[in-house]
Amino acid sequence: MKKGKIIILSGPSGVGKGSVNKELSKNKNLKLVQSVSMTTRKPRPEEINGVDYYFVSKESFLEAIKNDELIEYAEFIGNFYGTPRNLVYDQISKGKNVVLEIEMIGATQVLKKESKNLISIFLMPPSLKVLRERLMGRATEDEEVIKQRLDKALVEVPLKYKYQYVIEIDSIKNCVEKIKDVLAKENVLEKISYEQSLFFSLEKIVLEIVNKSYLFFIENWRKNISRTKNKDVKESFDFKKCLINILTNFIYEDVLAHESINLLTDINFIESKIERCMLEISFFDIDLKKFI
Ligand code: 5GP
């Protein structure tokens, strides 16, 4: 049986990770399993032990670390948070994809241990102003904790590029659609195939545009690279495939991070993005070995 994947969802406190994750778990087509973390934080009024978290004492948490029961853990503003190992590995071996909604220090530990079996996503607020307003509007914490959470967010946001995908939460609905597409692109879903992803259709549109307008560029690129006697690049190197790959990924990443997902099927938008990329990408600095 194909092993499932660990899906890491990180993002600054208050960004809306929890709401996005709740929507994801409601979508039965995705068949995602939620990991339930252990924490020493006190429960908020609406939180249920064993559902939102396992709320434990500091002693129990330290005991779990000692017994190697956690895949990762971190201290976040005076409290410990960690992912129990059992459920995650049990579900993955059954082919299920397990979502870990965790902060960056813990995520980095998982990225090191499980780099192949992992999809990592960082959720971004539309702006820092919006993030601040969301945190202030959350009446569950006192002012000092809100300030510490905001400070932590300001440290986390610039480190977002450690993650494979950076997705803006413009609205919960759009963000869920974007994550769904990433999972289809990564081909980890039972009911939605790679060919049904918008990434796949984007790739086809990029191919058409390259065929229509940029074959002259590919020839020029090939000639110039062969002149540099780059030994890594053989005669048979597929420059067209490489260009399509670069452009598709560039546009996909840009849309996930800043635009509405519907634009991935908008030919005019894609054409104008490609025009910009062709002028801005430094093609001679690209490490072509990565594409061999
Ligand atoms: P909150 O107190 O708002 O529920 O969570 C604070 C932060 O801890 C959030 O960024 C949340 O994603 C993160 N978090 C929750 N569970 C875990 C966990 O098991 N491990 C780590 N490293 N972070 C977690």
Stated pTM of the model: 0.93
138: left (phi over 0), alpha (psi -120 to 50) or beta: beta
Q: Among the three residues 172, 188, 217, which one is the final residue of a domain in this structure?
A: 172
Query: From the CB of 13, is ligand 1 less than 6 Å away?
Result: yes
Does residue 162 belong to any structural domain of this protein?
A: yes
Q: What is the pLDDT of residue 156?
A: 93
Q: Are residues 138 and 271 in the same domain?
A: no
Q: Are residues 228 and 286 in the same domain?
A: yes
199: left (phi over 0), alpha (psi -120 to 50) or beta: alpha
Q: Are residues 252 and 150 in the same domain?
A: no
What is the token pair recorded at 215? 């074959």
Q: Are residues 143 and 258 in the same domain?
A: no
Please state the domain count of the chain: 2
Does residue 16 belong to any structural domain of this protein?
A: yes
Q: Are residues 254 and 109 in the same domain?
A: no
Q: Are residues 267 and 217 in the same domain?
A: yes
Q: Are residues 23 and 160 in the same domain?
A: yes
Does residue 191 belong to any structural domain of this protein?
A: no
DSSP 117: G
Q: Are residues 234 and 286 in the same domain?
A: yes
Contacts made by residues 45-52, CB under 8 angstroms, sequence distance 24+ = 45/140
Q: What is the CATH number of the domain that holds 51?
A: 3.40.50.300
Q: What is the pLDDT of residue 2?
A: 84
Q: Are residues 32 and 111 in the same domain?
A: yes
Q: Are residues 60 and 109 in the same domain?
A: yes
What range does the domain containing 253 cover? 197-291
Q: Among the three residues 139, 172, 205, which one is the final residue of a domain in this structure?
A: 172
Does residue 179 belong to any structural domain of this protein?
A: no
Q: Are residues 210 and 97 in the same domain?
A: no
Q: What is the pLDDT of residue 290?
A: 79
Does residue 181 belong to any structural domain of this protein?
A: no
Q: What is the pLDDT of residue 289?
A: 79
Query: From the CB of 16, is ligand 1 less than 6 Å away?
Result: no
Q: What is the pLDDT of residue 136?
A: 86
Q: What is the pLDDT of residue 225?
A: 86
Does residue 240 belong to any structural domain of this protein?
A: yes
Give 103 Cα–ligand 1 centroid separation in angstroms: 5
Q: What is the pLDDT of residue 115?
A: 80
Q: Among the three residues 172, 189, 219, which one is the final residue of a domain in this structure?
A: 172
User: Which is it for strands 37-39 and 53-55: parallel, antiparallel or unpaired?
Assistant: parallel
Q: What is the pLDDT of residue 21?
A: 94
Query: From the CB of 248, is ligand 1 less than 6 Å away?
Result: no
Query: From the CB of 41, is ligand 1 less than 6 Å away?
Result: yes
Does residue 1 belong to any structural domain of this protein?
A: no
Give 102 Cα–ligand 1 centroid separation in angstroms: 5
Question: Nearest 5°: phi and psi at 250?
Answer: -60, -50
Does residue 183 belong to any structural domain of this protein?
A: no
Q: Are residues 165 and 221 in the same domain?
A: no
Q: What is the pLDDT of residue 50?
A: 95
Q: What is the pLDDT of residue 15?
A: 92
What is the token pair recorded at 66? 């000692």
Per-residue pLDDT in tens (0 to 9) along the chain, 292 residues: 888 999 999 999 889 999 999 999 999 888 899 999 999 999 998 999 999 999 999 999 999 999 999 999 999 999 999 999 999 999 999 999 999 999 999 999 999 988 889 999 999 999 999 999 888 887 677 888 888 999 999 999 999 999 999 999 989 999 999 999 999 999 999 889 999 999 999 999 999 999 999 999 999 999 888 888 666 777 788 999 999 999 999 999 999 999 999 999 999 999 999 999 999 998 888 888 777 7
Is residue 167 packed enough to be buried (19+ CB in 10 Å), middle (13-18) or exposed (0-12)?
buried
Query: From the CB of 239, is ligand 1 less than 6 Å away?
Result: no
Query: From the CB of 168, is ligand 1 less than 6 Å away?
Result: no
Cα Rg, the chain, nearest whole Å: 22
